Structure 1
Amino acid sequence: MTQVLLKGGRVVDPSAGLDAVLDILVVNGRIAAIGPDLAARETDAETIDCRDRLVLPGLIDTHAHVYQYVTGRFGLNADMCGVQSGVTTLVDQGGASCITMPGFRHFVAQPAATRVLAYMSAYLVGGLEGHYYPDLYRPDCLDAAATVKSALANADLVKGIKAHAEIGGFARWGLDVMKIAAKIGRDANLPLYIHFGQLWPKPEAGGLAVNPDSIFDQVVETLKPGDILAHPFSRHPGGFVEENGRLHPLVHEATARGLKVDVGHGSHFSFNTARIVLDSGVMPDTLGADMHGYNTTVPAPAGTPDSHPDEEHSFLGRSQFSLVSAMTSMLALGLPLDHVVRMVTSNAAKLAGMEDQIGTLQVGRGADISVLDDRRGRWVLEDNEGTKVVTDRMLTPLFCLRDGVRFNANSPSLPLAMAA
């Protein structure tokens, strides 16, 4: 019998109404007890002092890019983004396709210590180089029937479908790609995750004239309740904020219809845009780091492109960040801790259709637990526009338990805090 006793941490589990100093006893990889002043049942139990730490349900990153090597420089190592960053579950966004799903299962999901799930690409080629080659993403490069067949046959991994609503794509093909992607989502009975942004390079000639402010409402008309709108805090036109700097008038209607909002942080994140969206009363549901090889300091595979045509991906200088540092950004924007924790636990579990398995601390469940340092002081956060925000609270991952097995947060991609 193996036992781990987490002593005296601030246990925060919004789905269970928990926010108190408690102990958690883990026995044989499962949560055996939660309460004050628990004692180990065996003398050889490992006791971990969690005083002044946050003890949370295992964190779930809703926007990962971990089809390593197959997606060129874009895909990162799953465990680097996962358990080595204090995250127990990753949802890969659009790396695998109906053609490449067997390889994703065999070479990524199965060997990873992190739980790896997929929102499968609507496109036959998947996320090759993060859309570096836009001609691979035209309507002829989708096969709805094949994608639905693969999604249903891989239901343990495939929890949704990924598509893109981008200005370059609209200028080339209008709404055709989005209509096919929406059909895939309906036929597979899976949520569709929509990336708002730009498909690079945009056509210089021969494309349709596109009003960026018209994209949001056109896309929303194709979607069903439970589908996800990504990158609400992006500075790119064509999303939540119009070119006039105001919230798109249909955003509130979209969320009222049951569409969900995911903060894919990454290179798209803008504090200024976030302020507009939040001040307009829109609260995001989930949070993903959106780390990939063009915005994170990792060695690039030989022969891959030196840079990404999206200049936004280059602003961070291939810097370092993580899901937990994205949580710090949410706190700096004024979101309450309870909601930020929901974004990366219970709400994210619903996005994966696994709320009965992950995203909460419950006796009898597998022990997926993340432990974070929660410091007070003054630090500077910087976004992809160069906007700097001073925060008085900094979260950093210390370790996580994945089915009771401990992994220290030692990822080379974890950021170093910059003092104010």
Structure 2
Amino acid sequence: MKFDYIIRNGHVIDPFDGVDAVKDIGVINHRVYAANYGDSSLMPIIDASGHYVLPGLIDFHTHIYDVGSGLGIHPDYFLATGVTSAVDAGTSGASNYEAFHQTKVVSSKCRIKAQINITSQGQFQLGFPENYDPKYFREDLIGELIEKYSGEIIGIKMRLSKETVGDQGLEPFLKLLEIADRLNMPVVIHTTNPAISVQTIAKHLRPGDIYCHCYQGEGMTIIGDRGNVLPEIKDARARGVLFDACNGTLNFAFNVAKAALTEGFYPDIISSDTSRHSFAVPYYCKNLPFVMSKFLSLGMDLFSIVRAVTETPAKLMGMEGVIGTLREGAFADISILEKKPRKMFYNDKKEEFCGEEVLVNKFTMINGAVAFCSNDFWL
């Protein structure tokens, strides 16, 4: 067999296989193979010297229903940023999930899965909150969609904020958990400016549930009065609750993240929470490598950062060992990034933080096909 591509001399980071070393990667028939396997004559050689070669990045919390929501962007925009797989975080609900599936999941090059919103309309527009009155939750329709799109719908989303839940207290959250139990699905809980206490949220979440925006700074946070991560949050992690950084527009605070990281409370998942309002330009989100750069500047090691955007989300998507890794036989989803020394002023609305390095995507391959190559790469 002949290689389609060989990527040489790059620093490969693949937490799934524990790889963190300079290594060559081969691609044959849309799959990853060891570079010493097959015939390399006359095949394209990609020189990745001085770059990191990573499994295709997975953005686990996004808003990509661009034709049906004022929040959405087109998922294929992500390919230039090194993201090859994405999860839509509840932009659609039971009434419009079919349209989301037909217009985005089916037609996009980027590999897509989704969390369905517990409210039928989903997240329709910034400033237009979902209706979280439990009497409007349609368990029957959500159940039908989960069965029809088994493996595609991987969670049920709720924004448990004062702006959405108001003074309804625990009732919407407890009703969501009842429905999720019956449907055997994890829940994904938006926690910015929470309508109930952080301790209560953490107490009720189950193994496999996701506490998202874990470093947000509005209202109650995961940091207690003494500057430490709350014991209830640590207990939830010990039970198997997962914590997603998902940056977004108002969902990340440097002081909270710094306190948690200093204590060793790293995110299980790093996602961008990109939307039409935060993608590409604003200096609080931009894209997934930009968000990864924040954690690099805050002192988190690159190997752990890469795990949070590859191995862990791949497992949650039910694709462990197939995506999110560069082991032999995996889909040839590959991102090549450069770590550049540069002062970066990350602006998160109320705070600014100066970083010294930034990760920049230079090359993206999805399923063995080149989807993006920077003008100054592969020269």
TM-score past 0.5 threshold = yes
2:254 corresponds to: 271
Q: Does 1:151 align with 2:146?
A: yes
Indicate if the aligned counterparts of 1:148 and 1:187 stay in contact, CA closer than 8 A.
no
Counterparts of 1:106-145 in structure 2, within 5 Å, are 106-130=102-126, 132-134=127-129, 136-145=131-140
Q: Residues 127 and 159 from structure 1, CA distance in 2 versus in 1: closer, same or farther, beyond 3 angstroms?
A: same
Q: Does 1:285 align with 2:268?
A: yes
5+ long unaligned stretches in structure 2: 375-379
Deviations 1:64-103 (A, max 9, x none): 100112012x0011111x2122111001100122221211
Cα distance in 1 for residues equivalent to 2:225 and 2:147: 40
Indicate if the aligned counterparts of 2:338 and 2:362 stay in contact, CA closer than 8 A.
yes
Deviations 1:111-138 (A, max 9, x none): 11110110111111111114x2236332
1:104 corresponds to: 100
Cα distance in 2 for residues equivalent to 1:372 and 1:17: 19
- Which residue among 63, 76, 95 is the counterpart of 2:73? 76
Indicate if the aligned counterparts of 1:196 and 1:229 stay in contact, CA closer than 8 A.
yes
Cα distance in 1 for residues equivalent to 2:285 and 2:346: 12
Identity of aligned residues (%): 28
Local SS of the residue matching 1:182: helix
Cα distance in 2 for residues equivalent to 1:253 and 1:228: 14
Local SS of the residue matching 2:304: helix
Q: Does 1:403 align with 2:367?
A: yes
Q: Residue 29 of structure 2 aligns to which amino acid in structure 1? A: N
Q: Residue 344 of structure 1 aligns to which amino acid in structure 2? A: V
Deviations 1:312-366 (A, max 9, x none): xxxx48x761100111111111111110010001011122222142111111121
1:304 corresponds to: none
1:334 corresponds to: 299
Cα distance in 2 for residues equivalent to 1:56 and 1:187: 38
Cα distance in 2 for residues equivalent to 1:141 and 1:280: 41
Local SS of the residue matching 1:275: helix
Q: Residue 4 of structure 2 aligns to which amino acid in structure 1? A: Q
Q: Residue 263 of structure 2 aligns to which amino acid in structure 1? A: S
Indicate if the aligned counterparts of 2:198 and 2:220 stay in contact, CA closer than 8 A.
yes
Q: CA deviation at 1:170?
A: 4.4
Counterparts of 1:2-401 in structure 2, within 5 Å, are 3-34=4-35, 38=36, 41=39, 43-72=41-70, 74-80=71-77, 82-130=78-126, 132-134=127-129, 136-198=131-193, 214-242=196-224, 246-267=228-249, 268-296=251-279, 316=282, 321-391=286-356, 393-401=357-365
TM-score (norm 1): 0.83
Q: CA deviation at 1:43?
A: 3.6
Deviations 1:124-165 (A, max 9, x none): 1111114x2236332233112321221122113111111122
Q: Residue 407 of structure 1 aligns to which amino acid in structure 2? A: A
5+ long unaligned stretches in structure 1: 200-211, 299-315, 411-420
Local SS of the residue matching 1:236: coil
Local SS of the residue matching 2:147: helix
Q: Residues 407 and 351 from structure 1, CA distance in 2 versus in 1: closer, same or farther, beyond 3 angstroms?
A: same
Q: CA deviation at 1:44?
A: 3.8
Q: Residue 193 of structure 1 aligns to which amino acid in structure 2? A: V
Q: Residue 327 of structure 2 aligns to which amino acid in structure 1? A: Q
Equivalent residues, number: 372
Compare 374-383 and 115-124 and name the one that shifted more: 374-383
Indicate if the aligned counterparts of 1:147 and 1:184 stay in contact, CA closer than 8 A.
no
Cα distance in 2 for residues equivalent to 1:242 and 1:77: 38
Indicate if the aligned counterparts of 1:31 and 1:367 stay in contact, CA closer than 8 A.
yes
Cα distance in 1 for residues equivalent to 2:100 and 2:225: 39
Q: Residue 119 of structure 2 aligns to which amino acid in structure 1? A: Y
Compare 106-115 and 234-243 and name the one that shifted more: 234-243
Local SS of the residue matching 2:370: strand
Cα distance in 1 for residues equivalent to 2:335 and 2:286: 17
Q: CA deviation at 1:188?
A: 2.3
Indicate if the aligned counterparts of 2:252 and 2:348 stay in contact, CA closer than 8 A.
yes
CA RMSD after TM alignment: 2.2
Q: Residue 136 of structure 2 aligns to which amino acid in structure 1? A: C
